[in-house]
């Protein structure tokens, strides 16, 4: 994304409504997907409890999503 010199663009993180009231246009947003992170955490915990003998560490990654001013999800790897 290229901005004009001296122009500032606001990007919100995790849809923090109290901070966004009155902004126009509505800022783009980085959605950290905390609900999905919580769901995967519970799934991993239940799996780990059912498979206590497996000692290997399992890493799960949830990629954030960028949401445009218009509410469309953007593939952030294409923006970079």
Dihedral over Cα of 9, 14, 20, 23: its sign: positive
In a domain, 38, yes or no: yes
Residue 3 lies in a domain: no
Residue 2 lies in a domain: no
- Where do we find the tokens 């769901």? 39
Given this model, what pLDDT does residue 46 score? Answer: 96
Asked if residue 28 lies in contact with residue 11, where contact means CB atoms within 8 angstroms, the answer is yes
Q: Please report the pLDDT score of residue 77 as a whole number.
A: 66
pLDDT of 8 reads: 74
Range of the domain at 34: 11-79
pLDDT of residue 68: 79
What stretches in the chain show pLDDT beneath 70? 1-4, 76-80
* Domain count of the fold of the chain: 1
**Within-domain flag for 33:** yes
Q: Is residue 64 part of a domain?
A: yes
């Amino acid at each position: 994304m290229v901005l004009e010199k001296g122009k500032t663009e606001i990007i919100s993180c995790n849809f923090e409504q109290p901070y966004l009231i009155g902004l126009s246009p509505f800022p783009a947003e980085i959605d950290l997907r905390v609900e999905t992170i919580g769901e995967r955490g519970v799934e991993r915990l239940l799996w780990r409890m059912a498979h206590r003998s497996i000692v290997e560490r399992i890493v799960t990654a949830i990629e954030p999503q960028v949401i445009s001013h218009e509410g469309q999800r953007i593939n952030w790897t294409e923006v970079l």
